[in-house]
Amino acid sequence: MADTAKGARHRGIARRAAGVAAVAAVCAGLTWTALALTGTPADSKAPAAAAAACSYTATGGGAKGLGLPVHDPARARPYRAELVTEQGKVVIEALTEAAPCSTTSFAFLAGKKYFDGSTCHRVTTRGIFVLECGDPAGLGTADPGYFFPDENLDGATYPAGTVAMSKAVPGRNGSQFFLSYADPDFRMQPDWTPFARVVSGLDVLRKIAAKGTEDGATDGRPKEPVVIKEVTVRRPAA
């Protein structure tokens, strides 16, 4: 996702949202697609086999010495993660049963301090309403050094409070994710793995979004920088 990919990805999400809002035909090859808003991420259940088969494929990029996550179904436990930003704290609850591979990866990266000091690089204020984060450089081009397949997509929806993996290529999830701060204006295709839900801090996300983007567009870098100071994973006592 270098500059060219970044530009295509940004244009893709903007054109898709605008097209659906205008009741236009769905255009192939764009990142965001229109879909339904019924149920919640927690309603989706992963097939039993998926819980035992998480694969992380090295890309050769990413931070030096970061390594790969290791998912152990026998030791997987639900957890909450606190995302402390300069504009407030957001707490998310991981859907470890429905999205074991994504939640293992997120906890792994948080434990490596991968997200600490990173800047959320996109906010959208029309059609879809999300804050996108997960790139240490704040460019939307991050590669943590590995990717993993999609999961938990059967019946997936993206209402307010959804936390889902963000990607430009199907089946290549890495470190980037988005947090929905309001229900989309249209039905989104189940293309992005929901792996957590916001349990507190939705007001923080809405406050960030209310300030808009740097250039006043409906899709772009937040007007005020959103820096994730730290991400702390808190697991319940065994």
pLDDT of residue 7: 45
Beta bridge partners of 200: 91
Q: What is the CATH number of the domain that holds 143?
A: 2.40.100.10
The count of structural domains within the chain is 1
Domain that holds residue 146: 35-234
Residue 10 is assigned to a structural domain of this protein? no
49: in domain: yes
Distances (CA, A) of 126 to 17, 121, 182, 196: 7, 16, 10, 23
d(CA 228, CA 230): 6
Identify whether 12 is part of a domain.
no
52 within some domain: yes
In a domain, 169, yes or no: yes
Give 119's strand partners: 227
Q: Encode pLDDT of 72-83 as tens digits.
A: 998 888 999 999
The per-residue pLDDT of the chain, averaged, comes to 82
Residue 26 has pLDDT above 60, yes or no: no
Which residues, 6 or more positions from 135, have their beta carbon under 8 angstroms from its beta carbon?
Answer: 118, 119, 121, 141, 142, 175, 176
Residue type for position 67: G
Residue 18 belongs to some domain of the structure: no
Residue range 38-52: average pLDDT?
A: 36
In a domain, 28, yes or no: no
Q: Residue 89: inside a domain, yes or no?
A: yes
Q: Tell me what the mean pLDDT of segment 193-216 comes to.
A: 98
